[in-house]
Amino acid sequence: MEANDITWLSTREAARRLGLTARTLYRLIDNGELPAYRFGRVIRLQATEVDAFIEQARIAPGTLEHLYADGGSDTDEPERSQTSIDEL
């Protein structure tokens, strides 16, 4: 395969590669977030552009603090207050 050869993916292949439904894939294409090409009645995506989209979506460490409460607990269990024997 030459450097100029393009590897094309069907929408089904691209959706599977991204772990998305076809509907979500079409929304990304329609919103201009993911480039796609129409050849007659079929839509194709370049494998390199799908891979670039995946890489661009990588989450940088330390950017998800807003998703967990109080910024420090790394468990999904709610905090429990300790009750001393004197309080019972």
Q: What is the amino acid identity at position 11?
A: T
Asked if residue 9 has pLDDT above 80, the reply is yes
CATH architecture of 1-58: Orthogonal Bundle (1.10)
Contact status, residue 40 vs residue 8, Cβ threshold 8 Å: no
Nearest by Cα to 20 from 5, 9, 7: 9
The two tokens of residue 47 are 């494998």
* pTM (predicted TM-score): 0.69
Q: What is the pLDDT of residues 26-85, one digit of tens each?
A: 999 999 999 999 999 999 999 999 999 999 999 999 999 889 866 555 555 555 555 556
Structure tokens belonging to residue 20: 């998305």
